[in-house]
């Protein structure tokens, strides 16, 4: 379901919306639970890149939360 959500949000927003970043983070969490750490890291990195770009750097609480893996 998270993958489907990611597909839909990416189609609607491309990669310029916090919802897309959140979807990448959701998929990241599932991969972590499945012990697929390389895939999880890829999803987490994409989420962090989107949030950093959207919020203009690392001075936003959402970006900070991503760095510590809580978002």
**pLDDT value, residue 69:** 66
**pLDDT value, residue 60:** 86
Helix (H) or strand (E) holding 39: helix 37-54
Extract the residue ranges of the chain whose pLDDT is less than 70.
68-71
**pLDDT value, residue 71:** 57
**pLDDT value, residue 70:** 56
**pLDDT value, residue 65:** 83
CA 71 to CA 46: how far, in whole Å? 13
CA 14 to CA 31: how far, in whole Å? 22
pTM assigned to the model: 0.86
């Amino acid at each position: 379901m998270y993958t489907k959500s990611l597909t839909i949000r990416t189609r609607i927003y491309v990669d310029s919306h916090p919802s897309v970043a959140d979807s990448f983070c959701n998929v990241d969490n599932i991969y972590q639970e499945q012990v697929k750490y390389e895939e999880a890291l890829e999803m987490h990195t994409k989420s962090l890149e989107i949030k950093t770009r959207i919020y203009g750097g690392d001075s936003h609480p959402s970006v900070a939360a991503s760095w510590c893996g809580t978002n």
